[in-house]
Amino acid sequence: MAQLATGDISVFMPEPRQFGFPEATERSHWIRLRTLIWLRWVAITGQLIAITVAQAAFGIILNTGLCLLAVGIAIIANLVAIFVYPENKRLTENEAMLMLLFDVSQLALLIFLTGGLNNPFALLMLTPVIIAATALRLKSTLILGVSAVCLVSFVSLFHIPLRLADGSIQHLPDIFLFGFWAAIIIGVGFLGIYARRVTAEVNSMSDALLATQMALAREQKLTDLGGVVAAAAHELGTPLATIKLVSSEMITELDAPSDMRDDAELIRDQADRCRDILRSMGRAGKDDLHMHSAPLGTLAQYAAEPHQGRGKVIHFEIGPLPGHDDRQPIVMRQPEIIHGLRNLIQNAVDFAKKEIWVEVFWDDQKAGVRIADDGRGFSPQELGRIGDPFMRGRRTSGESKRRPGYEGMGLGLFIAKTLLERTGAELSFTNTSDPYAPPPSDGKNHGALVEVIWPIGVISAPSHGPDAALGENQPFDA
């Protein structure tokens, strides 16, 4: 299978349900009953105004009793909903669908009583369908859409005609009635699909951005933890040295073997052990500024470290572009850069056959990282959509065997692209060769290629002088 832009982020992030993202079946629970009640009050007000104006201003003879009965049914339904349910009531899928079915049926009854499709307000039959498309599942939206189509078709054939005071009937030409009916039917389908597609993309983007924020927060905590460890190593160094000194003096004074001498030796040994542990956790005495900045190549190697033992070989090529200074740019260890590069490398490892190449390069104007693999490459169908959230592709049986249990959500590359662009980077996704062509015989990489480039002034860390490796500890907020 061609390489898809759906980097698996399960190594670094919990599942979507652990993020608290609602499933598609739960989004209807976001609809407040009071919102639909308020919209219905607006509709009721408009209906009463339309009935009054039609009779008073245009002299149209309506069956006022039946019209007011239809409006009264909606008023009674609203009052029952207000008094029976609390203000914070949120509707289930079926409850929301039934309320919207009631609204479309009540409106169809009024249109039946007021001339059918000769009444221009028949266009309002679209409103409940659009609300369903933006808030309910596809099944409920289809039920409501089909119901609206059936009701519109019914009132186009059977209705009480509009009469003036002189008894004349107001009737549009058949061609206009047919055109109006066709426009409503097409509107139900087109506007329903349009509203549903836009809402789905907005919801997906919202969920993906939330996942990005949580991934960034996790990376920030890991970075902060390194600073805490360095500070702890510094602060505990003095008391441990004192413990060792006192225990050594006790051992010297206790020449003869005894329980006290054994205890003193044990204290000294444990103090040495604590010193070794702290020394391995952080550099004692000063805050390690490498926790805040590092060479770009070192940062790329650190980002790739979790994937070194996954059965694929990761090659690093670190060097300047021809004719430029050999000194690597020192960049800030931003969690966005680390997590973004890590996801890109993970995607390459996931789809590579055997090898991945990570090239770090720079010149006087820019610095960048290229990540390539020897896999099949990005699918041409997916290449233009790389970076979209929740982008899924079909998996072949071979892909399923190569990556068992993989159910990528398309968030990996979206998060990487979002985080890296936040740091000022420009990303490009391409293939090093035609994905439909057979692999080259020279063994060189021929799969996917991702390039990340920053302006050198954006990514460079501020200089700390000749002692840039060490600096005074900074206070940590509780």
Q: Which residue has the tokens 């104007």?
A: 365
The letter for the amino acid at 443 is G
**What is the C-alpha separation between 320 and 362, in angstroms, rounded?**
5
Which of helix, strand or coil describes residue 465? coil
- pLDDT score for 357: 93
- pLDDT score for 22: 44
- pLDDT score for 435: 47
Say which range, 40-49, 55-64, 359-368, 380-389, has the weakest mean pLDDT.
380-389
- pLDDT score for 78: 92
Longest dimension (CA), the chain: 130
Mean pLDDT along residues 164-180: 88
**What is the C-alpha separation between 2 and 379, in angstroms, rounded?**
5
Which of helix, strand or coil describes residue 205? helix
Does the pLDDT value for residue 10 go beyond 60? Answer: no
Within 10 angstroms of residue 313's Cβ, the number of other Cβ atoms is: 12
- pLDDT score for 246: 79
Phi, then psi, of 440 in degrees rounded to 5: -65, 150
Does the pLDDT value for residue 391 go beyond 70? Answer: no
Mean pLDDT along residues 350-379: 89
Does the pLDDT value for residue 80 go beyond 80? Answer: yes
- pLDDT score for 109: 95
Higher pLDDT, 281 or 3: 281
**What is the C-alpha separation between 241 and 279, in angstroms, rounded?**
13
Higher pLDDT, 281 or 249: 249
Higher pLDDT, 400 or 41: 41
Strands (DSSP E) along 300-420, which ranges? 313-318, 330-332, 355-362, 366-373
- Adjacent-strand bridge partners of 303: none
Q: At a CB cut-off of 8 Å and minimum separation 6, what does 162 contact? A: 60, 62, 114, 115, 118, 119, 169, 170, 171
Does the pLDDT value for residue 400 go beyond 70? Answer: no
Does the pLDDT value for residue 425 go beyond 60? Answer: yes
- pLDDT score for 341: 92
- pLDDT score for 8: 36
For residue 321, give the nearest of 290, 357, 367 by alpha carbon.
367
Average pLDDT, the chain: 78
**What is the C-alpha separation between 100 and 31, in angstroms, rounded?**
12
- pLDDT score for 392: 54
Mean pLDDT along residues 409-418: 73
- pLDDT score for 1: 37
End-to-end CA distance of the chain: 50
Does the pLDDT value for residue 16 go beyond 50? Answer: no
Say which range, 148-157, 175-184, 260-269, has the weakest mean pLDDT.
260-269
Does the pLDDT value for residue 15 go beyond 70? Answer: no
Answer whether 415's CB lies under 8 Å from 11's CB.
Answer: no
Antiparallel, parallel or unpaired: β 470-471 and 287-288: antiparallel
Residues 196-236: pLDDT tens digits? 888 777 766 666 666 666 666 666 666 666 666 666 666 67
- pLDDT score for 407: 44
Quick one: pLDDT band at residue 192, thresholds 50, 70, 90? confident
- pLDDT score for 219: 61
The letter for the amino acid at 312 is K
Say which range, 123-127, 201-205, 435-439, has the weakest mean pLDDT.
435-439
Taken in order 149, 182, 154, 130, the sign of the CA dihedral is positive
DSSP run (H or E) holding 448 = strand 448-455
Strands (DSSP E) along 165-296, which ranges? 169-170, 287-288, 293-295
Q: At a CB cut-off of 8 Å and minimum separation 6, what does 229 contact? A: 281, 282
Q: Is 158 exposed, middle or buried (0-12, 13-18, 19+ CB in 10 A)?
A: exposed
Mean pLDDT along residues 466-478: 44
Residues 37-62: pLDDT tens digits? 999 999 999 999 999 999 888 888 88
Answer whether 292's CB lies under 8 Å from 333's CB.
Answer: yes
Higher pLDDT, 261 or 55: 55
- pLDDT score for 289: 52
**What is the C-alpha separation between 126 and 134, in angstroms, rounded?**
13
Mean pLDDT along residues 255-265: 78
Phi, then psi, of 321 in degrees rounded to 5: -70, 155
